[in-house]
Structure 1
């Protein structure tokens, strides 16, 4: 039996209006289990902490690297952002139960914000264009709120000069939504939507893995050149997503069609 293909035009429309998508059952249970075993190995190499923020996570384990070109997500990402894109960031976040809100050096929660550089991206009529989009792979039971969930304010990306009443993540804001999902679900959002990482006051460990994508002419956040290990035996699509399309850097702005195989997914 062939899997049901997503209605990409409908998802693009929903994304543009609401500023996020929550896709159910993207990863099979077996893959979630493999990813969690990989994360256990990574954590074992880190100092003990209540919170982990591990950047360039694709370099840490092949199971994570295999999400770079995840086939259920990539065609949608191309149609949201265009086909001249690359991996922008891979950020593994773990929040262990922390009922007392103990502050950690790796940030056990994140206040309300939009992503972006400092000084910020330029605005036109109070709005910022979409420069990058993240796919958040939910790898633990986040089916209930207050488990360190990501919070968002739907539609805030389309409100000129929007600012929340407070940036304190512990204060409930009008219209806020906590993203709840099961292991294997994927949450997609742009840098423009207001979001926050809530404290984890539950008895459950939060595990979320963010893979972000941007135009290939932007500098990625947590790497500037892919390692030979990541590039070894990479398919043309993965090589593009790792930013390797040409020795002529002008082609990053005006690529030849053969340099951007992701164009085959573009509608």
Structure 2
């Protein structure tokens, strides 16, 4: 995996905001190649009749079957984004989830869409909201431009990864009060990373084109991968480099050190300091 160093400014921004934009994460050629793949995967959705009056009908959230192509396997170790994830979490990570999200245009005159504000990886259900740890990061790759408000990109509640409770949404409203809602303006080929703890939600697409994104989520190896993640089998994994094999789940024993990314981190001088079990007093 190529190396991109996480700057102090980027770390501070991610820690403060809960997300980080990476401009030009994909080349134009990569965007075109990935779009050809994802359009084929989404063909049945794209061929449906338009129902502009129902925003929920116009969204595709496809999760299985996204790791069957060389171009999507390449994203697993994308050098512009994944090294940043490894530095924000640690080398002890794997690919946790994948998602293809397409949204067709909805009627711009409809009232605001009912949101689904949430945090990822579902840990609040078991641990509550207070003092949640950062255990995962998603990378969202834009395959279309997002230049206007309500053009289909995920909405982010800036800084909400630090909240110790649920969002407060006034009765009759769809968005929380007292917090900044970010509807990012990005170009095709840009990406953004976001913390599993940040509150986010789907938004309607009120533009005149289909919005298209790919999301790859990473988490610590002791977090079980999503059940729909279709990793290559062990025989197929042998054709890939060690870092790719680690991220695709080759090391299923979490007590076995994450040798591949640890070696990568040491080589690039970003290996985290070890955490001892005990110290002499």
TM-score normalized by the length of structure 2? 0.79
Matched, 1:198 2:203: yes
Q: Tell me by how many angstroms 1:153 deviates.
A: 1.1
Q: Which moved more, 1:178-187 or 1:43-52?
A: 43-52
CA distance in 1, matches of 2:169, 2:243: 43
Q: Tell me by how many angstroms 1:79 deviates.
A: 0.7
1:151 to 148, 155, 161: 155
Q: Deviations over 1:31-53 (max 9, x none)?
A: 11111111122123668443211
Q: Report SS of the residue matched to 2:122.
A: coil
* Larger Rg computed on CA atoms: 2
Q: Report SS of the residue matched to 2:76.
A: coil
Q: Where does structure 1 lack aligned partners over 5 or more consecutive residues?
A: 103-107
TM-score normalized by the length of structure 1? 0.83
Matched, 1:237 2:243: yes
Q: Aligned in 2, Cα 1:255/1:92: closer, same or farther, shift over 3 Å?
A: same
Taking the TM superposition and a 5 Å limit, the aligned residue runs for 1:141-220 are: 141-166=145-170, 170-171=174-175, 173=177, 174-220=179-225
Q: Report SS of the residue matched to 1:214.
A: strand
CA distance in 2, matches of 1:225, 1:39: 16
Q: Tell me by how many angstroms 1:157 deviates.
A: 0.9
Match of 1:99 in 2: 107
User: Are the aligned partners of 2:5 and 2:83 in contact in 1 as well (CA < 8 Å)?
Assistant: no
Match of 1:40 in 2: 39
Taking the TM superposition and a 5 Å limit, the aligned residue runs for 1:20-31 are: 20-31=19-30
Match of 1:68 in 2: 76
Q: Aligned in 2, Cα 1:259/1:16: closer, same or farther, shift over 3 Å?
A: closer
Q: Aligned in 2, Cα 1:15/1:119: closer, same or farther, shift over 3 Å?
A: closer
Q: Deviations over 1:93-127 (max 9, x none)?
A: 0001121799xxxxx98521112327625258x22
User: Are the aligned partners of 1:95 and 1:205 in contact in 2 as well (CA < 8 Å)?
Assistant: yes
1:117 to 122, 139, 144: 122
Q: Report SS of the residue matched to 1:22.
A: strand
Match of 1:86 in 2: 94
Q: Which moved more, 1:220-229 or 1:61-70?
A: 220-229
Q: Aligned in 2, Cα 1:76/1:44: closer, same or farther, shift over 3 Å?
A: same
Matched, 1:227 2:232: yes
